[in-house]
Homo-oligomer: A and B are copies of this chain.
Amino acid sequence: MAENVGVGLIGLGTVGSVVAARLIGSWELLTTRAGATPVLRRVAVRDPGKPRDVDLRSVPLCDDPFAVVDDPSVSIVVEVMGGMDAAAAAVERALQAGKTVVTANKALIARAGPRLWTLAESRGAGLWFEAAAGAGLPIVAVLRDSLRADSVNSLDAVINTTTNVVLTRMRNTGERLDEALLDAQRRGFAETDPSSDLDGWDASYKLVILAWLATGAPVSVDSVDRRGVRDIDRIDMAYTGQLGYSVKLLAHAEIRQQPGGVHLRVRPTAVPEGHPCFDADDSDNAVIITSDLAGTVVLRGVGGGGASTASAVLSDIVAAVRARARQPGPPHTQPRQLLSDEEVEVAGYLRLIVDDSADARALVLQALEDRGVPVIEAVDKPPLDGPFPQLIVLTGAAPRAVHDRALETLDTLSSVRQIAVSLDRVEPR
C-alpha cells in the first residue's frame, strides 16, 4: 500500500484545472512514478460559487489561500493563482511552516526566488518551479539536473508565446501589430491587457529565472535590458524577411567567467535563417544553451498553454513527493508488450529497376495498391548501371507486414528486375 501525501491547490484556472483533473483521475500513474500517492485535499479559488468544468469529487473548495496552506492534511502547496502579493504571502507562509511549495509563478520566482529558496532551506521545506521558467519546456531540469558540472556561457530563448504568435502573424500576413494582436486575443494567445507580454516583462521574468539557475546569479528583473515589441512595424517584418531574417522577441543572457559578469536582455531581434529560433513560430518556444563541456544544447517545444504548464507542475509534484520520502528517482521497471509487424505502421521509399516496357510502372503501382500499400508519388529515373530504367516510389503509411508482403509481390513481377532499395520514410506534416 502506497502512503498518501496531501496536496493543496491555490488557483483553478486553465493550469489548475488540468492539475486537479490529473491528481484525481491519474492517481495510479502518479503513484507509480512518485512512490506515494499525491491526494488533493483542498482547493482555494477566488469565487467558490462559479461553475467549473473540472469534477473535484468531494474535495472542498474555499476562497482563502491561507486555509489551504494551514490545512494540516496538506503537505504540498501548489500555487497556480498567479499575481504577486497574495501569491507571495501564501508561498512564504507555506515555506515558513516547512511545507513543500510547487509554483508556476514567474513574477514571484523572478523577483523573490533566491530569498524564498533561502527560506525553504532554513525550514527544511522544498521549492519547485519548473513551470515558472519554461512552461512545457523542461528547461529547469536541464539547467539544474543535467549541466551540473558545466559553466554556462550564454542563453538565447524565444520564451514569450503571446509576442511570438503576434510576430509570426505579422510576418505571415503582413498585418499591423494591433491587427495581429486582435487575432491572438481571439485565439486565446493574448490577454485583454497584454502589457506584461508586449512590454517584455514576461520574457524578462523567465530569463532572470533561467540565468539564476544557470549561474547562481540573482539578477534583478529591473536590470534586464528590456524592450518590448510595440514599435515593430510590419514593413520591417517584410524587409528583414527579404534579407533572410525573422524578427523574434529574443531573451539573451551572456555570462563571462573571468572576470565574472552577466548581461540579460530582452529585445526584438532579427534572427537569421538556420538559427534554432528562426522558425520557432507561434506557440513554439526555443531555448539555446551554450556551455563549456556540453557545447550547444537546443530545446524546443510548446511554450504556454494549460496542458504543457500543467505537465511541468505535475512533474514537480511527483518530484516533491519523491523528495519528501527521500527516495532517489528510479526508472520504474514495468514490462510492456512488443507490437507486432501487423500493428506498426511505416511509410517507405522504394527504388526499383524495372522493365523497359510501357506498362511496368502501372503494374508496380497496381501491385502495391492491391497489397494495401498506398502510393504517394512515383518518379521515373533513367538507367543507372545497366540498360534498365529506375522507378522511385514513395509509399504511404501501412503496417510493416503489409509493406513486406507487397515487396515480396513486387519481387515476383516479371516487369520488376530488382528491388534496389527499400527505406523507411517519415511523412511531411
Contact = CB atoms under 8 A, between A and B. Distances in A.
Contacts of A239: 351, 379, 381, 392
B256 A319 contact: no
Contacts of A147: 138, 311, 315
A89 interface: no
Chain A interface mostly helix, strand, loop or mixed? mixed
Contacts of A272: 425-428
A296 B291 contact: no
A406 interface: no
Given A33-B148, A142-B142, A245-B425, A314 B293 contact: yes
For the complex formed by this chain, how many copies does it contain in all? 2
Nearest to A121: B330
Nearest to A298: B300
Counting contact residues on chain A (CB < 8 A from B), the size range is 35 or more
A295 B270 contact: no
A31 to B, nearest CB: 11
The 6 residue pairs across chains A and B that have the minimum distance between CB atoms: A138-B146, A149-B314, A293-B311, A217-B336, A216-B334, A141-B146
5 contacts: A250-B424, A268-B424, A293-B311, A298-B300, A298-B301
Given A149-B315, A263-B339, A292-B307, 12 more contacts: A30-B149, A114-B333, A117-B333, A145-B145, A148-B319, A215-B334, A217-B334, A219-B336, A239-B381, A244-B428, A267-B424, A296-B301
